[in-house]
Amino acid sequence: MTIGVPKEIKIGETRVSMTPSLCRRCVSLGAKVLVEKFAGLRAGFADAEYRAAGATLVAAADKVWRTADVILKVKEPLAAEYDLLGEGQTIFTYLHLAAGPELTKVLLKKRILGIAYETVEGADGSFPLLKPMSQIAGRLSIQIGAYFLQSQHGGSGVLLGGIPGTMPGHVVVVGAGNSGAHAVQMAAGMGARVTVLDLDTRKLEALDTEYRGRVVTLMSNPANIESEVADADLLIGAVLIPAAKAPIVVSSKTVARMRPGSVIVDIAIDQGGCIESVHPTSHTTPTYQAHGVIHYAVPNMPALVGRTSTLGLTQATEPYVAMIVQKGVERALAEHKGLAKGVNTKDGQITYDAVAKALGYS
């Protein structure tokens, strides 16, 4: 089996789908690994390290795409990569198809076996390949928010931790899953006032127990959202309905009630965003103002910390990649139910219900 590792081309992307260490494992299991030159450079991995691990370095991206049986990536293929996808090829990467109707059409037309990191399931129903990036995005969301709250960056000038005698900043986190819980941890650690809302009482109970009253937990309903968001200095959107388009949980009307110079970080933007006034931004122009509030909605936040993100991602993908190399794609999918849940497109069909529904295919 030949595994192809292209260089990521999304704006500001720094991650790579394979470390030299994972490369060594794949080669030892019998795979041929093609790595595009400089693919790992922004994550701190030099070409020489891949070569020493047994990879073949390739200068041209199209050679990697056209030769590989399995393309291993980080981000979904972008328009410039659509032509490179080979008929019937397998791609293992984040796909986020609910927010990508054009890409979906291409995958169906080319009968791509699209295995999406974000829907691979653990035995307990969790999403082990989404988790590390969500943890990173959650943690980053607070430092990004703190940065844009600074006056020189157009923010309201609120220091999240305050100082003795002043009111700390109010951080409101909607969604208490992986990204939300890690945002709460960072915000609480900085000394902010933190409110977290979710529909799942077990998630709220866990945070209540962990923080012993230092964090306010609230049921996510329109009344609580409206009152908390109106008082937020920093609002974090962190909701997810697996594989579906994110639900809008905060209306533009509610955003308009926030204080001028407050900040929104909508982590859920990769699934379409959970705040009505949000549209996707990029690492080159990460924010815009709407209703006097700074909006940040970069769909690949972990690229800001490419080294940590690459290590976090690949430690999660390694067992699945190794299984694919050892057994071949078809047998790995047949024998591992959790990996099979990752299949979003196959033989020209959408095979994941929530994606089909979100895109109007069912």
Ligand X SMILES: NC(=O)c1ccc[n+]([C@@H]2O[C@H](COP(=O)([O-])OP(=O)(O)OC[C@H]3O[C@@H](n4cnc5c(N)ncnc54)[C@H](O)[C@@H]3O)[C@@H](O)[C@H]2O)c1
Task: Give the residues lining the site for ligand X (CB under 6 A).
Answer: 118, 130, 133-134, 137, 174-180, 197-200, 203, 220, 238-241, 246-247, 249, 267-271, 299-302
CB of 325 to ligand X, least distance (A): 26
| d(C-alpha 298, C-alpha 286), whole Å | 6
Residue whose CB is less far from ligand X, 35 or 343: 343
| d(C-alpha 96, C-alpha 77), whole Å | 10
Residue whose CB is less far from ligand X, 232 or 301: 301
| d(C-alpha 68, C-alpha 91), whole Å | 10
Residue whose CB is less far from ligand X, 187 or 238: 238
Residue whose CB is less far from ligand X, 107 or 204: 204
CB of 216 to ligand X, least distance (A): 14
Output the residue with the shortest Cβ distance to ligand X: 177
| d(C-alpha 283, C-alpha 299), whole Å | 9
| d(C-alpha 155, C-alpha 133), whole Å | 27
Contact 141, 103 (CB under 8 A): no
Residue whose CB is less far from ligand X, 248 or 322: 248
CB of 146 to ligand X, least distance (A): 17
| d(C-alpha 309, C-alpha 182), whole Å | 15
CB of 225 to ligand X, least distance (A): 8
Q: What's the Cα-to-Cα distance from 215 to each of 195, 196, 231, 236, 317, rounded to whole Å?
A: 6, 7, 15, 15, 33
| d(C-alpha 160, C-alpha 169), whole Å | 4
CB of 349 to ligand X, least distance (A): 23
Catalytic positions, written as ranges: 96, 270
Supply 253's token pair. 């009307």
